[in-house]
Amino acid sequence: VTSPDGDLRARPYDETTDRSWLEERIGGGYGAGHLQVRRGELIDVLLGEGLIAEREGRPAGVALWRTEPDGSTELTYLWAFESGRGTGRCLMTGMIELVPRPIWVVTTNDNVEALRFYQRLGFRLRELRLGAVDDARRDLKPSIPIEHDGIAIRDELELVLDSPGADPN
Ligand SMILES: CC(C)(COP(=O)(O)OP(=O)(O)OC[C@H]1O[C@@H](n2cnc3c(N)ncnc32)[C@H](O)[C@@H]1OP(=O)(O)O)[C@@H](O)C(=O)NCCC(=O)NCCS
């Protein structure tokens, strides 16, 4: 996968060679570590499959996913190390070509950038879980931040990209 500006490529995530540097990078970056909570469950996002974006041969972002028993794909982690340079779109375009749909993702109420980003790619909102992040912070992961950009982080929002031609209702 290459991006319109040409210098951005996506290659498969390889747990054996990528796990250690990515674990360190994610630990100090978006999402406070590779153990992520959603739907009341803690998961290791580095156990899945994924894509690594590289700009001029250096890591520029990561998308990780896993296939669910029902055949859908959960996007478990997405982080463009530098935003607004097409990295997120490059990763998602690559992922959408590779994985079975529907593709779903859980984000949090504060993440207006992600809500914009996913909807521009065609994702639709399908669920709001009030207080799910408060519950996760209390029961599973105390390190989840309290706020971001002046917005209290409290609720989970789930978005889905259905199969082409699927009835949106
Ligand atoms: C949300 C996130 C993944 C989006 O990724 P991104 O790399 O910033 O997104 P892109 O650059 O591909 O696209 C965003 C906008 O940047 C602009 N853009 C895209 N390519 C660009 C380029 N080469 N130069 C300048 N601007 C560009 C466009 O306005 C684009 O929107 P559009 O393509 O829909 O018109 C990223 O902001 C991020 O990692 N956030 C923190 C982690 C996070 O919240 N992850 C999601 C958790 S659920």
| 104, 130 contact by CB (below 8 A) | no
Q: How far is the CA of 8 from the centre of ligand 1 (A)?
A: 13
Q: Residue 139: what residue type?
A: D
Q: What is the rounded distance in angstroms from the CA atom of residue 146 to the CA atom of residue 165?
A: 39
In which band, very low, low, confident or very high, does the pLDDT at 3 lie, cut at 50, 70 and 90?
low
In tens, the pLDDT along 27-58 reads 987 888 999 999 999 999 999 899 999 999 99
Q: What is the rounded distance in angstroms from the CA atom of residue 61 to the CA atom of residue 66?
A: 17
Q: What is the DSSP letter of 2?
A: B
Give the per-residue pLDDT at 110.
Answer: 98
In DSSP terms, 105 is beta-bridged to 75, 159
Six token digits for residue 101: 């749909």
Ligand 1: nearest atom to the Cα of 107: 48
Q: What is the rounded distance in angstroms from the CA atom of residue 8 to the CA atom of residue 3?
A: 5
Q: Out of 83, 105, 106, 112, give the residue to mutate to test ligand 1, the one with the largest number of ligand atoms within 8 Å of its CB.
A: 83
Give the per-residue pLDDT at 164.
Answer: 76
CB-defined site of ligand 1, < 6 Å: 5, 30, 78-80, 83-89, 105, 107, 111, 113-114, 117, 120
Closest CA to 77 of 89, 67, 90, 64: 64
| 39, 106 contact by CB (below 8 A) | yes
Q: Out of 38, 85, 156, give the residue to mutate to test ligand 1, the one with the largest number of ligand atoms within 8 Å of its CB.
A: 85
Q: What is the rounded distance in angstroms from the CA atom of residue 92 to the CA atom of residue 79?
A: 11
Q: Strands 73-80 and 103-108, how do they pair?
A: parallel
User: How many C-beta atoms lie closer than 10 Å to residue 129's C-beta?
Assistant: 19
Report whether pLDDT(130) > 60: yes
Q: How far is the CA of 145 from the centre of ligand 1 (A)?
A: 22
Report whether pLDDT(69) > 90: yes
Q: Residue 85: what residue type?
A: R
Give the per-residue pLDDT at 6.
Answer: 59
In which band, very low, low, confident or very high, does the pLDDT at 87 lie, cut at 50, 70 and 90?
very high
| 142, 33 contact by CB (below 8 A) | no
